[in-house]
Structures are given as structure tokens and as C-alpha cells.
Chains A and B, each alone.
Chain A
Amino acid sequence: MTLEEAQNEFTAAAVEFETLIAGTPVPASNDTTFWSRLKTLAMSVLGTVAPMSAGLTMRTAMQAVVATHSVIKKLADATGNAVELERYARVMRGLTAEYTALAEKVLDQSEAKYAPIAERFKSAAASLKEAYQKAEQLASSLNLGADLLNAFGKLVSVL
């Protein structure tokens, strides 16, 4: 994946996150504090990360997701309100899914590097087996030669 594609991925992730926050139903009555906190948090994270997006890599995008997740976890730890908790949980799980998607892209980048190395190990294993078989074969031939000479020696001593 090119840097440009990575940036596009991150932008898409940021938009998705923003949509997720915006799409969360507006609280009915008593949790306006929660809503404003979450919105402020989301805006602050996006506001911090957005100016850096030109230089962002997949890994820094993942770090941003982890940082956001960590802050929301702290908010979730601090409340015992079911409505707040449910929304925090939903956002956290959305972020984890986003992290996994980004992580899979990172794994894809290194995937091609494994095949040639694995091939070289397979080839080394084959060479080791071949060397061992050749050594055993040579030992067997030497033993056969010794048997033949012993038999011949008996014949010579009789003569």
C-alpha cells in the first residue's frame, strides 16, 4: 500500500469514526453531560490528528485509534450509567474493528516477504536431508566394500 492509499484509508477511518459519533442517538433526558463529553472528545481527537494526516502512516493511524480507544475506556470506567456505558461500548468496539482493519492492511504489507524466506528454509531442510542420506549411503557402500574384501581375503588365505 502506498502512503497516499494509507492516508486515504486513515481519512476514511476518521470519517467513519465521526459518522459513528454523529449517528449515536441523541440522549433522551439526563445524559447530556455524556453526550457533550463524547462529542468534545471526538472533536478533540480528530482535531489533533487531522492536521497530521498528510504525514500519517498506517501505523500512526493505528496509534491514533488506540489512543482514542484508551480515552473512551477511561470514561467508561468512570461511569455506572447503563446508557452511557452502552454508547461507550459501541464506540470502543467500532474502534477495535477499525484497528483490526488497519492492522490487516499492515499485515498485508509484510505478507509477501515471508514466502521467499519460507522457501529458503524448505530448501535448507531438503539439503540437510540429502546430506544425511548421502552420508548413510556412503557408510553403507564402505561396509559393503569391507564385506567384499573380507570375503576376498578368506579366499586369498585359502590359496
Chain B
Amino acid sequence: MRNKFPLSLALCASVLAGCATLPKATKVEDFGAAVETGAAILGSMATTNRTLAFTIGEEDQANNYITGRNFTLGDTPDRFFDPARINVRRQALSALSAYGNALKKAADGTAIADLENASVRLGEAAGKIVAAASPVSAPIIGPAAKLAGRGIGFVIGNAYAAEIQSIIVARDPDVAIVVDLLKADLAVIAGALQLQFDDLQIQRKLTLVNVRSDRRVDRLRLYAEYESARRELDILKLQVAAANSYSAVLDSIVEAHSELVRNEPDAAASVARLVALTNDLSELVAAIRKG
């Protein structure tokens, strides 16, 4: 009987070997966060594009005003990207985000734990019935049925994890494709932001030159105007620079999904299963000894 423990452990190890496991929660969250950041960058690009277009138009009207020409207090924005074109990209990222959210729920481990626990409960209940019907062999039936229930639970849990993993693997090429498309498109949009920023810089410079041409404006006022223009442009410059980080953000989406595909075994989950199985086997061995 003493030799049965190492044998049991070997059995446990063999049952657990090749187990399909769900991706780690932190990795699923990393993927979700990367997608959210990608969506935020796209949103920020669209907003900056629009803001710059309106600000340039406003600056143009201000110039008209201070130089004695006709002007308007209404909006006269320069051309900016059609929101419908931005929305197509946003919808693709939304679909990716919805996939990430579904993955988060499916891979949180609750489903597998529920299946395994329910299977063990069923095994125990079946054991009690058999034990009640045949009192002679009662001591080992309970632990044996529990062990069988846990084994079945593992098999069902594995099947579930394998199904989730197969969905992740199947979508991996699509993640790479959509990210490549977005990188190419966002590069085009980012190019426009830089041009718009240059336009605003020159338009603002024109305003400063026109203000300076009035000899009644003292140097202190001129200095304040210059500083004000610099601060305004600095804020927009930061927004343009932030939008230009799209490439690294999109790369992180591909990287985070590849991590899910690789799905390195979750040591904690495997150990927990091994402990549960070992406990059941110990109960069975103890029952056999008593018998």
C-alpha cells in the first residue's frame, strides 16, 4: 500500500499532463487594455483633426478682423476628415473590443471551476446511492465515486478550455490583418495632423505679425501675445505627438493577442488541480486501507 502514493501522484501527473488551460486573466486584460488604448488614439486623432481645422479657421477670421477686413464670428473650419470614414475604423476596433470583453468573461475560470465542482458533487451523490444499496463495499465507494467525478470534471473543463483556445487561435491572423490596416490608415491621418499643425503655426505667426504692426501696442503686450500663442500651440503639439504614438499602441494589440495564442500553462491552476486530485486519491487509499 505504501507504494501506491507515488503511483497515485504519477497518475495525477499523467491526468494533468496535456491539460488545456484558459488564458491567464492578466493576459486577457492586457489585450483588452491594448484595444481600448487603440480606440482612444483613433478618437484622439479625429478630435485633434477637427480641433485644428476649426482653430485655423478661427485664427483666419481673427486676422481678417484685426486687419480691418470683413470677418465672421461663425465657424469657418478648414477641411477635416469625414467622420463616417473614421467611424468605419472605430467600428472595427469596437468589434475587437467586444471580442476582448467576451473573452474576459469566458476565460475568467469560473465556468471551469463550476463544472469541476458540479461533477465532483454528482460523483459523490452517485457514490452515496451505491453505498446505501451495497453496505458491504461502502467504505471505498464514496471516495472512488468522488475521484471518478473529479476526473470527469477535468475532462469537461479541458474540453471547454480547448474550445475557448481554438477560438483565440482562429482569430489571431485577423488581429494581425486589422492592425496592419489600421496602421496604414492612421499613418495617413497622422500626416494630416502634422500639416494642420504647421498651418496653424503660420496662421498664428501672421496674427502676431499683424498685432506687432500696430505701433500703439507696447512690448509687454506683444510679449504676452507671443507667450499666449506658444502655450496654445504647445497643447496642440502634444496632442499631435500623442496621436503619432499609434504605431506602438497597435503593435501592442498584436503582441497581447499572440500572448493569448501562446497560452503558457497556468502553474497555479495546474497545482490546484493536482492538489484536489491528490486529496481524492488519498481519501480512496485511506478507505481501501480501512477496508
Contacts A127-B167, A128-B103, A142-B122 given; does A82 touch B213 at CB 8 Å: yes
A153 near B202 with CB under 8 A, answer no
Partner of B195, one of A80, A99, A128, A153: A99
B263 within 8 A of A: no
If A114-B89, A135-B160 touch, does A143 touch B98 (CB 8 Å cutoff)? no
When the two chains form their complex, are residues B192 and A96 in contact, meaning their CB atoms are under 8 A apart?
Answer: yes
The answer on a CB contact under 8 Å between A121 and B111 is: no
Partner of B205 from A85, A125, A126, A135 at Cβ < 8 Å = A85
The one of A73, A88, A89, A149 in contact with B126, judged by C-beta atoms closer than 8 angstroms, is: A149
B85: chain A residues within 8 A (beta carbon): 104, 107-108, 111
Q: A120-B174, A142-B122 are in contact. Are A89 and B192 (CB under 8 A)?
A: no
- Say if the beta carbon of A118 comes within 8 Å of chain B: yes
> Once the chains bind, are A156 and B56 in contact (CB under 8 Å)?
no
Q: Name A's interface SS.
A: helix
State the Cβ distance, B164 to closest chain A Cβ, in Å.
6
Report whether over half of chain B's contact residues are helix, strand or loop; otherwise say mixed.
Answer: helix
Q: Determine the chain B residues whose CB is within 8 A of the CB of A129 once the complex forms.
A: 102, 105-106
Tell me which residues from 190 to 215 in chain B have a Cβ below 8 Å from any Cβ of chain A: 191-192, 195-196, 198-199, 202-203, 205-206, 209-210, 213
Q: Is the CB of A121 within 8 A of B202?
A: no
Residue from the list B112, B133, B174, B188 in contact with A117, Cβ < 8 A: B174
Chain A neighbourhood of B99, CB < 8 A: 121-122, 124-125, 128
- A2 CB-CB contact with B under 8 Å: no
User: What is the count of residue pairs linking A and B with beta-carbon distances less than 8 angstroms?
Assistant: 188
Contact B164 A131 (CB under 8 A): yes
Q: Do A157 and B132 contact each other (CB < 8 Å), given the known contacts A128-B103, A139-B114, A146-B121?
A: yes
Residues in chain B near residue A124, CB distance under 8 A: 99, 102, 167, 170-171
Enumerate chain B interface residues (CB-CB to A < 8 A): 56, 60, 63, 78-82, 85, 88-89, 91-92, 94-96, 98-99, 101-103, 105-106, 111-112, 114-115, 117-119, 121-122, 124-126, 128-129, 132-133, 156, 160, 163-164, 167, 170-171, 174, 177-178, 181, 184-185, 188-189, 191-192, 195-196, 198-199, 202-203, 205-206, 209-210, 213
7 closest A-B pairs by CB: A142-B118, A149-B125, A139-B114, A135-B111, A125-B102, A118-B95, A128-B102
Known contacts A92-B195, A100-B79, A142-B119; 14 additional CB pairs below 8 A are A66-B195, A69-B195, A82-B209, A114-B91, A117-B177, A118-B94, A120-B174, A125-B103, A131-B106, A132-B102, A136-B114, A145-B125, A153-B125, A153-B129
7 A–B contacts from the bound complex (CB under 8 Å): A82-B206, A93-B199, A96-B199, A119-B95, A139-B118, A146-B121, A152-B129
